[in-house]
Amino acid sequence: MMRLSIRICEPCDSAGPVMGVMAPKVSTSHLWHDIYPHAFATNRSAQLAHSHTLGCMAPSQREPKVVVLGGGSWGTTVASICARRGPTLQWVRSEETANDINEKHRNTKYLGNEVELSPTLEATTDFSEAAECADVVVMGVPSHGFRGVLEHLAKELRPWVPVVSLVKGLEQGTNSRMSQIVNEVLPGHPAGILAGPNIAREVAEGYAAAAVLAMPDQSLAANLGNLFRTKRFRTYTTDDVVGVEMAGALKNVYAIAVGMGYSLGIGENTRAMVIARALREMSKLGEAMGGHRDTFAGLAGMGDLIVTCTSQRSRNRHVGEQLGSGKSIEEIISSMNQVAEGVKAASVIMEFAEKYGISMPIAREVDAVVNHGSTVEQAYRGLAAEKPGHEVHGSGF
């Protein structure tokens, strides 16, 4: 059997030839007018009233500066994409990581030594420096630290600056989505999320991929989308913030379920069944919370679910496999250098299921294993005991 492998090697528009065609860097200076239209008021008093947005230089004279907060694999990958499009600064906690990015164009800790980042990407450990120069903020910190970073940001950030989350999780304790936290801590700042089937290492290596940027204002989303878009990274837009955020949080829980199945040696048909039924559970809850059904059939839903359940680089699938090998959840988490959001989301999802009166058997079994001492074998026996009913309207597995 012949195997056909297609790889697009350069992760940016400007880094080199694509299929023999040199791709020039695309200027994003025109985006400034669209992101901050009030900054071009002809009335002098109006200009002065919005001088907080302009900084030291008129926006028409420079490109918008993207600030990415967080030094993990996905935050760094997105920062590198943005740096190909315009000025980008990444805030990281570690001086070692900042030096690695600035001097070697690498984030060795999270992306290995082989992935070369955009040479124009700059990094800093100075939070104030990052916050004060931001025209667009991209939040790449985990859900458990999201609010704290925003509260710090609120003291430094100019009004009206858009905030785009990369987080596919929910806040424990409040059950809040990330955009809800932005609206609470930074009222008046447009909030959205960028999500999709995006294994960070693959995107960083230049393989073709896509994501969807969800924001309530579609005009703003369309213009911000250009900051994340290259010939190999397609960025779509939607106004369904709820649906995209819930899809991102839910798929992590189901990836743990599929990972548990891998450890048990289940067949491909069984895996496909679990993924398909997981998508139905996701859609039911997402719609009940105000999301759109079509979102769950798209990149943030089905697309991200498939890759997170099947990729060997998936952190949440890894958690499920390790649970199946007999390790405790505490052992697994302590051995990982990045967060598996599905672990924290499992209990939150069950609270939502109870609130909206929705049966979610797969999520129930994952929560039982992660939080209540059940075994992987018991989880799959529990699913097998569910009586099948109507595929769309039934409540069982």
Q: Residue 379 pLDDT > 80, yes or no?
A: yes
Residue 25: phi and psi, rounded to 5, are -65, 135
Q: Which residues contact 5 (CB under 8 A, 6 or more apart)?
A: none
User: What integer pLDDT is reported at residue 343 of this predicted model?
Assistant: 87
What phi and psi, each to the nearest 5 degrees, are found at residue 57? -135, 140
- Tens digits of per-residue pLDDT, 123-163? 999 999 999 999 999 999 999 999 999 999 999 999 999 99
3 state DSSP class of 395: coil
- Pick from 191, 176, 184, 164: which is nearest to 75 by CA? 164
pLDDT at 35: 59
100 — pLDDT class (breaks 50, 70, 90): very high
Please report the DSSP string for 166-222 in residue order. Answer: ------TTT---HHHHHHHHSTTS-EEEEESS--HHHHHHT--EEEEEE-S-HHHHH
Confidence of residue 31 (pLDDT cuts 50, 70, 90): low
- Say yes or no to pLDDT of 8 above 90: no
Confidence at residue 43, expressed as pLDDT on a 0 to 100 scale: 35
Per-residue pLDDT of 39-61, as tens digits, reads 333 333 333 334 343 334 444 55
Average pLDDT over residues 95-104: 97
- Residues 304, 361, 146, 203, Cα dihedral to 10°: -10
Instruction: Give residue 182's pLDDT band: very low, low, confident or very high (50, 70, 90).
Output: very high
Q: Residue 29 pLDDT > 60, yes or no?
A: no
The string of pLDDT tens digits covering residues 284-334 is: 999 999 999 999 999 999 999 999 999 999 999 999 999 999 998 888 988
Positions annotated as catalytic residues are 251
| Overall average pLDDT of the 185-200 stretch | 97
- Does residue 364 carry a pLDDT above 60? yes
326 token code pair:
């007999």
Please, what is the average pLDDT of the chain?
86
Q: Select from 29, 141, 129, 169 the least CA-distant residue to 74.
A: 141
Exposure letters 181-200 (e unless 16+ CB within 10 A, then b):
bbbebbeebbbbbbbbbbbb
Residue 16: the pLDDT is 37
User: For residue 267, how many C-alpha atoms fall within 13 Å in the half-sphere facing its CB?
Assistant: 3
- Residue 393 pLDDT level (bands cut at 50, 70, 90): confident
* CA 76 to each of CA 81, 309, 354: distance values in angstroms, whole numbers, following the listed order: 9, 23, 37
The answer to whether 177 and 143 have CB atoms below 8 angstroms apart is no
Position 236 confidence tier, pLDDT thresholds 50, 70, 90: very high
